Structure 1
Amino acid sequence: MSPAARLLARFQHPAQIVAVAFAAAIAVGTTLLALPVATAPGESTGALTALFTATTAVCITGLATVDTASHWSPFGQVVILVLMQAGGLGIMTLATLFALLVSGRLGLRARMLAQAETKALQGTGLRRVVRNIVLFSLCSEAVVAAVLGLRLALAYDEPAARAAYLGIFHAVSAFNNGGLALWPDSMMRFVADPWVLLPVALAVVLGGLGFPVVFELVRAWRRPKTWTVLTRITLGVSAALLAGGTLLFTIVEWHNPRTLGPLPDQTKFLAGFFTAVMPRSGGLNAIDISQMRPESWLATDILMFIGAGSAGTGGGIKVTTFGLLAFVMWAELRGEDRVNVGHRRLAGPVQRQALTIALLSVGLVALGTFVLLSLVPYALDRVLLEVVSAFGTVGLSTGITPHLPPGGQLLLVALMFVGRVGPLTVFSALALRERTRRYELPEERPIVG
């Protein structure tokens, strides 16, 4: 066997392909950002800065050790833009294709039942799926870019070319949940402007829902009774988290003189909504995150950990995982031996996969927090927010990331990579390794609790 054939044989599992593809993209991005032409005059870029920025762009996180607008030249900014676009399209495409791959391993009868139920991805060719994902992404970004560009040109006197460039960059960053902005205060200067904040928030939500959910909504938005469990859970949990987060942030920060306090009442609700949207993996901010109350930091940690929808551009354990575990808990509290969502019963392997992803994520966040605490002098609440933001590929920060030692920044790089690639690889590994045991062991019920 030739060396090339041995290399291909080694990377046949989808989990390996995903990890290698994202690592290769980060390596290319690091190389390009390390070039002198990528840095603005008077600035210098070290290897760690290039690696950190390439990772945060490809993994569409948004944490940064340098100011994106002032440190990088137009070439460097375009590289970051392309990396965010590639990372977002890669996540949506790979996650959706994994769904097809997993369904292809089902038996003929199960595939026919699944196709009859969803009438969507299982009956669609791969080329059509990829084409629809690309068109959906580019069209969504084009609409948001047009709205932002016009607003910046008409209301903020930006030159037409500059307004168009800013519109495109922030539309791509928002839709792909990239979290990077070309203003040093992120979106804080637009805290009272709904024509900027609402399109950005809508793009974050739309990109975070996931292509399978959007595809099904387009096809059957008038027939909610026919929606799949994925769509029902994604929409229901997302709406509950957005509503609850908006209410919580608005109430907790209402009188905070460093965040919502000085704003008019109607602007407080707008800023509260925007602040609730961003932890789902958007990463942009309209108020100063470092000045929020500890209660708001904790709520942000929870929302970032849950994240966005499956097969979307957001991170976290996914609202689907969170919703499935909630239904499992509800069934257990009611003493039911089956877990039902609407008129569908959840398969046992799906429940175990959700539990595995959640517990693995908790372990990684705990380990990352412990290690970072040993490296820096900052308090637990600030360190925890930074770690969850990196693992959830969100990008919200209390401002300590640029001041972390090299070891701390490398830890965040690892967390961003694992947080972005991990859920895909874990899901594919669990789903594709599913097999039926040919014998049963004697049952025992140990004491729980």
Structure 2
Amino acid sequence: MPGTPAANAAAPFRRIPGAVWHWFRVMTTHSPSRFALSVFIALVLLFTALLSLPIASTTREVTPLADALFTAVSTICVTGLTSVDMSAHWSPFGDVVLFVGVNIGGMGALTLASLLGLVISKRMGLRAKLIAAGDTNPLRAHGGAVNESQAVRLGEVGMLLRTVALSTVLIELAVTLLIFPSVAAKYPWFDALWIAPIYAAMSFTNTGFTLNDGGIAVFQHDYFFMSVIMLSVFVGSVGFPVIFALSRHITNPRKATLLRPSTWALHVKLTLITTTILLFAGAGTFLILEYGNPGTFGRMNAWDTIFQSVFLSTMTRSGGFSVVDIGELYGSSMVVGSMLMFVGGGSASTAGGIKVTTLAVLALGVLSEAKGRQSVEAFGRRIPSDVQRVAVAVLAWGATIVAVATIVIAQITHAPIAQVLFDVISAFGTVGLSTGLTETLPDHALYVLAVTIFMGRVGTVTLAAAVAATSRTQHYSLPVERPIVG
């Protein structure tokens, strides 16, 4: 009853949710980008502390700071690069920490914070919707009038957040149920109850950690298992806005037009078309380049070669799983893999890279310029100039990060530049594939690679939001002068 000692003692705790929501509103109002960085940094520090605990390792010893920090960054940024033996080093407690971390990282910092705010306050105001939109559509971070159509409208942000949470749970559950028989055929059923959900989470979030003995190579001849994992990676890489848009066509009878691509939003079309082109182009290229390589496809039969080519192409898009030894790839294949990793997956997805829509917008811009058009157009729609500015900025930002990190790590290790470049791009694209270099890096090189991962995961979204937020109406025009270009 009110006024009793028990009620008085509980009163401060009832005010905690309100205080948390007040802090959320203050932080997001002043600087959404700073808030996103703060959440990610806080999560990295928290998981570094958890992974440093003696109970997190099988030897019950404290994990070195460099390894704990790098693993935490790789987990929260859903990368999958490792500096320790993941199946042997971490205890069941450490595995649980990794499982929780990749699901948090897969949903995104602003999405998670917005979901928590929605649970606490039971509602979302305009500012909260704008902040949540920053994770799923950085160009919607500014609050001014927007005349153009949006991939996700502001009024749909609340529904999108629910779609993110629901799709994560349902897809991972479905993948777990589908692959459980395959896992149970290889391991005792009690171990399979844990290994199957791990693979479901690591595939949908595009992380690529393998915590079982032998890794995914144990299942390389189980085509059903491998196909489900590929499909899970693909769905996770297309992005939550695409999942949300397609789900509306399925759940709304009046919009049951899923099989009519002409009704899809431009973002959905660009994402799916570019993703499909890169998937099959990558698979064909790997098949041609590696067909006679005895260290990779040369020892496989024709069917295994074709299947593993598609699998490798899918995983270089941010999945991170690998059956073949990446270090045995020809240099030409490493270049192709680096290009695919740099592009990554869809916007607001669990994948990394500069994103497929960025590549699509840049390609459409070049095509429009070649045809002498005054505007960039696709599927009967005009792409505004601010989207083109963001695409160029993200490309330049990504190339700069990769170049600087490659130079620094190459100078520290004096390792072959091809291996350094591949692992650095894998870190920036949050892919997780490695030539074997990452596990041998000294501590200071690990810190550089951890920063590269962090900037690849958070930096592109933050930069896109910052560029979009700087768009202002200019009421005057300066004199024109044309420098020589090219």
CA distance change for structure 1 residues 135 and 442 in 2, over 3 Å: closer, same or farther?
Answer: same
Number of equivalent positions: 438
Question: Per-residue CA shift, 1:270-317, capped at 9, x if unaligned?
Answer: 111110001111111111111111111111100000000001000000
Indicate the residue corresponding to 2:8 in structure 1: none
Question: Per-residue CA shift, 1:175-232, capped at 9, x if unaligned?
Answer: 0011111145532232222122111111111011011112222314222112222111
Mapped to 1, the partners of 2:451 and 2:156 lie a distance apart of 35
Aligned residues of 2:142 and 2:468 also touching (Cα < 8 A): no
Correspondence 1:208-247 to 2 at 5 A: 208-218=237-247, 219=249, 220-247=257-284
Aligned-pair CA distance for 1:361 = 0.8
| Structure 1 counterpart of 2:149, from 99, 114, 132 | 114
Aligned residues of 2:138 and 2:464 also touching (Cα < 8 A): no
Aligned-pair CA distance for 1:8 = 7.6
Mapped to 2, the partners of 1:256 and 1:125 lie a distance apart of 49
Indicate the residue corresponding to 1:124 in structure 2: 156
Indicate the residue corresponding to 1:297 in structure 2: 334
Indicate the residue corresponding to 1:97 in structure 2: 133
Aligned residues of 1:69 and 1:182 also touching (Cα < 8 A): yes
Mapped to 1, the partners of 2:469 and 2:462 lie a distance apart of 10
Higher gyration radius (CA)? 2
Structure 1 counterpart of 2:350, one-letter code: T
Structure 2 counterpart of 1:225, one-letter code: S
Three-state SS of the structure 2 residue aligned to 1:235 is: helix
Mapped to 1, the partners of 2:269 and 2:280 lie a distance apart of 16
Unaligned runs of 5+ in 1: none
Mapped to 2, the partners of 1:86 and 1:27 lie a distance apart of 14
Over the matched positions of the two proteins, sequence identity in percent amounts to 35
Aligned residues of 1:100 and 1:121 also touching (Cα < 8 A): no
Correspondence 1:173-212 to 2 at 5 A: 173-183=202-212, 185-212=214-241
Indicate the residue corresponding to 1:159 in structure 2: 188
Aligned-pair CA distance for 1:103 = 4.0
Aligned-pair CA distance for 1:107 = 5.5
Three-state SS of the structure 2 residue aligned to 1:181 is: coil
Indicate the residue corresponding to 1:73 in structure 2: 91
Question: Per-residue CA shift, 1:131-171, capped at 9, x if unaligned?
Answer: 211111111111111112121113x2x22221121010011
CA distance change for structure 1 residues 7 and 285 in 2, over 3 Å: closer, same or farther?
Answer: closer
Structure 1 counterpart of 2:433, one-letter code: L
Mapped to 1, the partners of 2:436 and 2:373 lie a distance apart of 47
Aligned-pair CA distance for 1:5 = 9.1
Mapped to 2, the partners of 1:109 and 1:76 lie a distance apart of 46
CA distance change for structure 1 residues 114 and 311 in 2, over 3 Å: closer, same or farther?
Answer: same
Aligned residues of 1:92 and 1:133 also touching (Cα < 8 A): no
Question: Per-residue CA shift, 1:328-363, capped at 9, x if unaligned?
Answer: 001111121111011001101111110011011111
Mapped to 2, the partners of 1:293 and 1:100 lie a distance apart of 38
CA distance change for structure 1 residues 69 and 347 in 2, over 3 Å: closer, same or farther?
Answer: same
CA distance change for structure 1 residues 313 and 22 in 2, over 3 Å: closer, same or farther?
Answer: same
| Structure 2 counterpart of 1:312, from 325, 349, 356 | 349
Indicate the residue corresponding to 1:420 in structure 2: 457
| Structure 2 counterpart of 1:334, from 339, 360, 371 | 371
Mapped to 2, the partners of 1:147 and 1:10 lie a distance apart of 42
Mapped to 1, the partners of 2:345 and 2:50 lie a distance apart of 30
Three-state SS of the structure 2 residue aligned to 1:63 is: coil
Aligned residues of 1:37 and 1:73 also touching (Cα < 8 A): yes
CA distance change for structure 1 residues 61 and 6 in 2, over 3 Å: closer, same or farther?
Answer: closer
Mapped to 1, the partners of 2:207 and 2:326 lie a distance apart of 17
Mapped to 2, the partners of 1:42 and 1:100 lie a distance apart of 43
Aligned residues of 2:342 and 2:429 also touching (Cα < 8 A): yes
Aligned residues of 1:92 and 1:313 also touching (Cα < 8 A): no
Three-state SS of the structure 1 residue aligned to 2:208 is: coil
Structure 1 counterpart of 2:277, one-letter code: A
Aligned-pair CA distance for 1:432 = 2.0
Mapped to 1, the partners of 2:373 and 2:302 lie a distance apart of 46
Structure 1 counterpart of 2:190, one-letter code: A
Indicate the residue corresponding to 1:30 in structure 2: 48
CA distance change for structure 1 residues 103 and 386 in 2, over 3 Å: closer, same or farther?
Answer: closer
Residues 1:373 and 2:402 are matched in the alignment: no
Mapped to 1, the partners of 2:146 and 2:291 lie a distance apart of 55
Three-state SS of the structure 1 residue aligned to 2:269 is: helix
Mapped to 2, the partners of 1:423 and 1:240 lie a distance apart of 23
Mapped to 2, the partners of 1:372 and 1:258 lie a distance apart of 27
Structure 2 counterpart of 1:379, one-letter code: P
Q: Could you tell me the TM-score, scaled by structure 1's length? A: 0.93
Q: CA RMSD in A?
A: 2.2
Three-state SS of the structure 2 residue aligned to 1:124 is: helix
Q: Could you tell me the TM-score, scaled by structure 2's length? A: 0.86
